[in-house]
Amino acid sequence: MSDCIFCAIVDGDIPGRIVHETEHTLAFLDANPLAPGHTLVVPKEHHARLDEVPADAAADLFAAVNDLVPRVESAVDADATNVGINDGPAAGQEVDHVHVHIVPRFEGDGGSPIHAVAGERPDLSDEELDDIEASISG
């Protein structure tokens, strides 16, 4: 996609601090990091939403994340890591290209757990939870 910043990095049209590359995946340091070592892992092919990524590319994407988490933690001496995907604008996705955030975390850094992302928690009944379970599992 011609106006996608991540596609431009993949194509080499704009520089990126590349830390990992495979046939289907590219990983680079975030230009606006939330923490030292904040890394983005993207499929090389443009896909806006996670369910659009072909299975082989998705497998490669998550294999790269699995490989990179301990390497990123080690590089910046992090105590832990948040791994996240904002899948769609309502979830806070700002770049219309699938990307996985690897955000190193440090004791006392003031960050919050992933549960803080969603705002107020819903009060769901057992029946509602059963309906959701059935709908997801098919």
Q: What is the pLDDT along the chain (138 residues), one digit of tens a residue?
A: 679 999 999 999 999 999 999 999 999 999 999 999 999 999 999 999 999 999 999 999 999 999 999 999 999 999 999 999 999 999 999 999 999 999 999 999 998 888 888 788 899 999 999 999 999 998
Rounded to two decimals, the pTM is 0.93
Length of the chain: 138
Instruction: Tally the C-alpha atoms within 13 A of residue 14's C-alpha that lie toward its C-beta.
Output: 10
Annotated active-site residue in 24, 38, 99, 101: 99
For residue 1, the model assigns a pLDDT of: 63
Q: What is the pLDDT at residue 98?
A: 98
Superfamily of domain 5-137: HIT-like (3.30.428.10)
Our separate counts of H helices and E strands in the chain read 3, 5
Does residue 99 carry a catalytic annotation?
A: yes
| CA–CA separation, 113 and 102 (whole Å) | 14
Residue 56: per-residue pLDDT: 96
